[in-house]
Structure 1
Amino acid sequence: MAAHGGAPELEFLMEVAVQVGQPVDIGPTPEGHCRMVPIIGGTFRGPGLSGNVLPGGADYQILRSPVLTELDARYVLESDGGERIFVHNTALRHGSPAVIEQLNAGAVVDPTLVYFRCWPRLTTAAPALDGLNTRLTVGTGIREPGQVLLRIFTIA
């Protein structure tokens, strides 16, 4: 664990493959161009923890500019043991106008050209997973056609 005042360490928690449906375009609003991307399933795996992403969540997006997208996803993970974890994941995705345009069109994009960082908040009622309620997590993301890959780390 990091000493008081020192830089915190990161511990790998899980990788999540979130399957997504076709975006629902809301259009330009005073806050930016809004979209909703349905979450239709997926899987997650980590040390001692694995399971599925339940269908029914969504990623609410605000395209703040041609290069910056704010993401706000909410969905549920269900472990192989039946425990459920609520995920509220906020993120920023940034890249050049051409790369973001391709990404938003569903094209395959080199992930090194996109800054995609997130802050997932994980909460659960499962006693065995109570530690998730008391820790902050951060992560990296890669948008692929039909899915989002997240690597989530606990801040020690």
Structure 2
Amino acid sequence: MSQTTPTPEPTPETLAAPSLEHICDLAVTIAPPVEVGHTPSGLRRMIPITGGVVRGPRLNGRVLPGGADFQLIVGQGTQAHLDARYVIELDDGSRVFVQNTALRVTSAEDALRIMRGEPVNPAAVYFRCQPRLESSAPEWAWLAESQYVGTGRRAPDGVFLSFYRVT
């Protein structure tokens, strides 16, 4: 009977942190919320997206009307889990599908202000997102070959976002 020498466990290593490349900023216009109400999962709302502008070093165009942000509000109203889906039409006519999931966390008082459409100090709100981008245009194929993160700010009349490519 032969004995085998155990294989040593690999040693974890800290890899270099990724960097971020700013690709664009969005100013998204919205319509009043459509309230679904309190479900077993939490408060559900749908915010229609009516348009917007996209400007930045890598993407420029407009947000087409017709998208929506589906929201699940939990934690006594302090946490909003967001799932927005919409289309950007770039300046060259190409279209980009965006699915942007996000987490917005703030105090109960500021959450009520946001729900009523009132301004809230952006420093009091944690708003981070993970957009996914894809296009059928060959020159924009690179959009689906990277991961993205972003920051957001909710205003009474819209949402402002900045998207960054993780490099």
Task: Please give the range of the TM-score, normalised by the shorter of the 2 chains.
Answer: over 0.9
**CA contact under 8 A between 2:23 and 2:58: conserved in structure 1?**
no
Aligned to 1:6: 16
Q: Normalized against structure 1, the TM-score is what?
A: 0.96
Unaligned 5+ residue runs, structure 1? none
Gaps of 5+ in 2: 1-13
CA offsets, 1:38-78, max 9 Å, x none?
Answer: 00000101114211000000000000122101000000000
Report SS of the residue matched to 2:60: strand
Q: Which residue in the other structure is 2:55 paired with?
A: 45
CA RMSD in angstroms, aligned pairs only: 1.0
Q: Whole-Å Cα distance in 2 between the matches of residues 11 and 143 of structure 1?
A: 23
Q: TM-score, normalised by structure 2?
A: 0.90
Which amino acid in 2 is paired with 1:127?
A: P
Q: Distance between the aligned counterparts of 1:155 and 1:57, measured in 2?
A: 25
Runs of 4+ in 1 over 6 A off after TM superposition: none
Q: Structure 2: how far apart are the matches of 1:90 and 1:137?
A: 11
Map 1:115-134 to 2 at 5 A.
Answer: 115-134=126-145
Is 1:22–2:32 an aligned residue pair?
yes
Question: Would the aligned equivalents of 2:24 and 2:58 in 1 still touch at CA under 8 Å?
Answer: no
Structure number with greater Rg is 2
1:140 aligns with 2:148: no
2:113 counterpart of 1:102: yes
Task: Give the Cα–Cα distance (whole angstroms) in 2 for the partners of residues 22 and 91 of structure 1.
Answer: 19
SS of equivalent residue, structure 1 residue 5: coil
- Give, in whole Å, the separation in 2 of the partners of 1:99 and 1:64: 14
Question: How many residue pairs align between the two structures?
Answer: 153
